[in-house]
Amino acid sequence: MAHFDTEYQRLEASYSDSPPGEENLLMHVAEGAKSHWHHIENLDLFFQRISLYLIKNGFTCMLLGELFELVYLLFVVCFTVFLANCVDYDVLFANKFVNHTDSSKVTLPDALIPMDVCSARIRDNGFVIFVLIISGVFWLHRLVKFFYNVCCYWEIRSFYKNALKMSMVRRTNLPYATWQEVQARIIEIQKEHQICIHKKELTELDIYHRILRFKNYMVVAMVNKSLLPVRFRLPVLGEVVFFTRGLKYNFELIFFWGPGSLFENEWSLKSEYKRGGNRLELADRLASRILWIGIANLLLCPVILVWQILYAFFSYTEVIKREPGSLGARCWSLYGRCYLRHFNELDHELMSRLSKGYKASSKYMNCFLSPLLTVVAKNIAFFAGSLLAVLIALTIYDEDVLAVEHVLSSITLLGVCITICRSFIPDKHMVFCPEQLLRVILAHIHYMPDHWQGNAHRYETRDQFSQLFQYKAVSVFILEELLSPVVTPIILIFCLRRKSLEIIDFFRNFTVEVIGVGDTCSFAQMDIRQHGHPAWMSEGKTEASIYQQAEDGKTELSLMHFAITNPHWQPPQETTHFISQLKERVHREAAGAPSETHPLSLSESEPRSLVANLLAGPSSLASVHFGCDNSLINHAVAGSDGASALRSLSPVSSSLHLRGSLSMAQRASGFTGKAMRTDAHTVSSGSSAWEGQLTSMVLSEYASTEMSIHALYIHESRGELSRHTWHRRESDESSDSIPDEVRSDHNPQSKSFPRSHTFPTVVSSPSATSTSANSSKPKGQEEEKSQSQRRHSGPATVRVARVPMGGWAVDGQAAPRHHEAVPEESSEDEMPPHIHKVSTLNAIDITALLACAGPQ
């Protein structure tokens, strides 16, 4: 090829993308990653940690907690080995004499076996070595986990600090940031950083779904559809609920994260489980997995058992010695916590709700103390007490008494004995009013089987309730520590295995894939249309088959709970409709009753106006006699110190209006104002003024009250519904089952009938003629029923008769007392117990609801 010499020359510079004229170039500005919080890989875990971090009060607390747990483990193992091998018990019990030159006293070091002998003893003992090795491995595992967790929480800490801009210093002092606050910030952050890449914006429901994905499945949905084998019919004991932490752990292992579990990873179910084709084969596979895990449990049983016993011994002995009463105390059982949990309810929300119901629940259980036992206990306590008194008096006189053999131990034993006896002696001021107590409990726990209503005085109800609310001693010591390791493999192998097909079907039918969240339990969507139960207010809206319906009104109540705790949440259209309809009804009740009727003549209004009754009660007590709803709101807004004025009002009604108007204001500012409640319109202008003052803490406190009212209302209309359908069948009277219509359509008998059972409260006139709700309408089936009830309920009948009498007897004097009692509303909690007990039935409800609104 010839070479031409032209002016065109090859550029010397090496080939480069960048042309020489830099100033003409299009320049880009790199955004960079402002923080490394964008696009988080495992959002489930991330959100879980965020909520845990909040609940456990920040980094320092968590660090120390985990550290002490490590130390604790080490201590338990070492100390046990030491006690078993290195102590000369003969010296300690003074069976063997030690030769001392200087003094005759035995010192602690004398009882110890010398180091070398001791270590030789340990080395020779194969079992001890075995235990040591196992616990060593376990401990190392915990150590690695500890470091891992510390790193994770450090990340979370910096997330709180840098991304959420929540100061940690403050948090250690004042752990008062609510989850709602944190959540709102996370949603905010998402807009900026895109933590989740599927969506531009996160919703509250997304976050809850991610945190509670498995809990929604197992704890709520599977328990709700009674899929998990936790109820057993035993020959002697009758129906027993057995659900322990060990069992729960195994269930989780099988379904969610163990090797070969149904879930592929944290966020998606394996695809073969979503197809119905080979369900039988999958069920077989699941069954064999359950079998293997059961066998593994059986093999590990001795190790777990030994560990549990040691753990129990070291953690509870001291407690029992210090306050033996804790043996008689009750707590919410694990099953209870599952049964009572809403869909999408975080642990701390559940626990605070249940704790609020604790007092009423223990009072309810104490109602059923056996009188026989009480008599015996009283006398034993007397004798033990006198012995103890003598011993103590002698000891005070001369300390040498203590040196006498077994004096110290008998003092201790007598003390324990007295405390146990005392737990069987009911409070002197106790009034037997189980129906009211159960209603108060319901206001907090939100769930209860239908047949409890009106049967609160029965022992069956009590027994069933005690499954939810167990003796701590029973649930913790016996079930957890001792029985669980043995029974768990048996349940797995013999009961759960049989249900494998049902489980496979459950996961296939009730899993939906939500964009940006992954596979979640469809119940947790809280879609009334898919999972509503027609008997629970969602009639006409639900299209669910019986298999799809959630039991106990779980869907409806969960929906209300979620909507109330997260007022910013914007549910889908139909759901919004349901919520607003329900809220409107409750509001109407609240607003209507005081204007129509005087609070004392509530018998004219509807039986279902319990809510109205409740609302009317406290507000009249607070001596704010408002004609209607508007005046209250105006009053509140007009008050220069809005928040404090509101607080001085009745907490119940104010919370309703307050929250209603607040959420109204939020809605109005958020998007085009939806005219949901006309009565709340007046406020929306003024609300912003005190929105700032009312922290979310106050709001969430009111939220729980509002939820209580809604729960009561839903149960109420549910109860009414079922009774009306029953009534309709009997008398062939056509009536609409929706409560609104009931008001106008019914004759007095059918109206008063339901009241007799569920609302002794609204039978108002304290005249002697209408002593008992039952006797006031001795007509038709009603009387028959009450009679048959008496026949069946056996020993309890005597007490039934006592209910109204006890209530009415004091009614006259109690009513005025309230007017003084309530204005200092912050302290009803500390109100002396006799006020609760002596006051009318009516007042119990009110005070209880006040108590739930008050700072507990």
Partner 1 sequence: MNCRSEVLEVTVEARQIDEAMLALLHTILLHRSTGKFHYKKEGTYSIGTVGTADSDCDFIDFTFVRVSSEELDRVIRKAVCEFKDGLNNSGSDGMGQISLEFYQKKKSRWPFSDECIPWEVWTIKVNVVNLANEQERQICREKVGEKLGEKVINVVEVINRNEYLPKMPTQSEVDNVFDTSLKDVQPYLYKITYQITDSLGTSVSTTMRRLIKDTLAL
- Binding site residues, partner 1, CB under 8 A: 17-18, 22, 25-34, 36, 38-43, 45, 48-49, 52, 141, 144-145, 147-149, 151, 154, 194-198, 257, 259, 264-265, 267-268, 270, 518
Please state the closest distance from residue 475 (CB atom) to partner 1, in A. 24
Q: Is 351 exposed, middle or buried (0-12, 13-18, 19+ CB in 10 A)?
A: middle
- List CB contacts of 585: < 8 A, sequence separation 6 or more: 713, 739, 740
Please state the closest distance from residue 153 (CB atom) to partner 1, in A. 11
* Smaller CB separation from partner 1, 271 or 734: 271
Which of 808, 798, 723 lies closest to 758, judged by CA? 723
Determine the Cα–Cα distance for residues 355 and 283; give it in Å rounded to an integer.
Answer: 40
φ/ψ of residue 332, rounded to 5: -75, 125
Please state the closest distance from residue 265 (CB atom) to partner 1, in A. 7
* Smaller CB separation from partner 1, 268 or 669: 268
* Smaller CB separation from partner 1, 97 or 147: 147
* Smaller CB separation from partner 1, 151 or 237: 151
Which of 405, 388, 385, 406 lies closest to 396, judged by CA? 388
* Smaller CB separation from partner 1, 75 or 148: 148
* Smaller CB separation from partner 1, 52 or 835: 52
* Smaller CB separation from partner 1, 123 or 145: 145
* Smaller CB separation from partner 1, 504 or 610: 504
| 3-class secondary-structure state, position 87 | strand
Which of 845, 813, 848, 809 lies closest to 829, judged by CA? 848
623: left (phi over 0), alpha (psi -120 to 50) or beta: left
* Smaller CB separation from partner 1, 30 or 237: 30
Please state the closest distance from residue 741 (CB atom) to partner 1, in A. 50
Q: What is the CA radius of gyration of the chain?
A: 33
* Smaller CB separation from partner 1, 259 or 627: 259
Which residue's entry shows tokens 């192998």? 493
Please state the closest distance from residue 99 (CB atom) to partner 1, in A. 54
* Smaller CB separation from partner 1, 6 or 18: 18
* Smaller CB separation from partner 1, 163 or 796: 163
Please state the closest distance from residue 252 (CB atom) to partner 1, in A. 11
Determine the Cα–Cα distance for residues 112 and 564; give it in Å rounded to an integer.
Answer: 62
Determine the Cα–Cα distance for residues 314 and 309; give it in Å rounded to an integer.
Answer: 9
DSSP labels, 200-214: SS--HHHHHHHHTHH
351, 592, 615, 679 from 595: Cα distances, Å = 37, 6, 12, 14
Which residue's entry shows tokens 């690695």? 144
74, 108, 132, 308, 851 from 127: Cα distances, Å = 18, 27, 9, 17, 55
201, 330, 368, 446, 537 from 363: Cα distances, Å = 46, 11, 9, 18, 31
Please state the closest distance from residue 18 (CB atom) to partner 1, in A. 5
Task: Give the CA dihedral 579, 580, 586, 591, nearest 10 degrees.
Answer: 160
* Smaller CB separation from partner 1, 108 or 151: 151
Hey, what are 702's tokens? 């009111």
* Smaller CB separation from partner 1, 214 or 242: 214
* Smaller CB separation from partner 1, 266 or 450: 266
How many residues in total does the chain contain? 856
Please state the closest distance from residue 30 (CB atom) to partner 1, in A. 5
Please state the closest distance from residue 480 (CB atom) to partner 1, in A. 20
Q: Is 625 exposed, middle or buried (0-12, 13-18, 19+ CB in 10 A)?
A: exposed
Please state the closest distance from residue 704 (CB atom) to partner 1, in A. 27
Please state the closest distance from residue 45 (CB atom) to partner 1, in A. 6
φ/ψ of residue 737, rounded to 5: -85, -10
Determine the Cα–Cα distance for residues 357 and 463; give it in Å rounded to an integer.
Answer: 18
Please state the closest distance from residue 217 (CB atom) to partner 1, in A. 17
Q: How many CB atoms lie within 10 A of CB 454?
A: 20
Beta bridge partners of 227: none
DSSP labels, 745-786: H--HHHHHHHHHHH-GGG-----STT-SHHHH---HHHHHHH
| 3-class secondary-structure state, position 225 | coil
47, 151, 693 from 167: Cα distances, Å = 18, 19, 20
Please state the closest distance from residue 101 (CB atom) to partner 1, in A. 57
Determine the Cα–Cα distance for residues 62 and 604; give it in Å rounded to an integer.
Answer: 57
* Smaller CB separation from partner 1, 143 or 295: 143
Q: Identify whether the C-beta of residue 57 lies closer than 8 Å to the C-beta of residue 171.
A: yes
Say how many CA atoms lie within 13 Å of 54 toward its Cβ: 21
Please state the closest distance from residue 149 (CB atom) to partner 1, in A. 8
φ/ψ of residue 57, rounded to 5: 65, 40
* Smaller CB separation from partner 1, 68 or 257: 257
* Smaller CB separation from partner 1, 283 or 711: 283
Please state the closest distance from residue 389 (CB atom) to partner 1, in A. 52
Please state the closest distance from residue 147 (CB atom) to partner 1, in A. 7
Beta bridge partners of 240: 232
Which of 140, 34, 27 lies closest to 77, judged by CA? 140
Please state the closest distance from residue 200 (CB atom) to partner 1, in A. 9
Determine the Cα–Cα distance for residues 349 and 526; give it in Å rounded to an integer.
Answer: 18
H or E element, residue 332: strand 330-332
Which residue's entry shows tokens 């030491």? 82
Please state the closest distance from residue 66 (CB atom) to partner 1, in A. 11
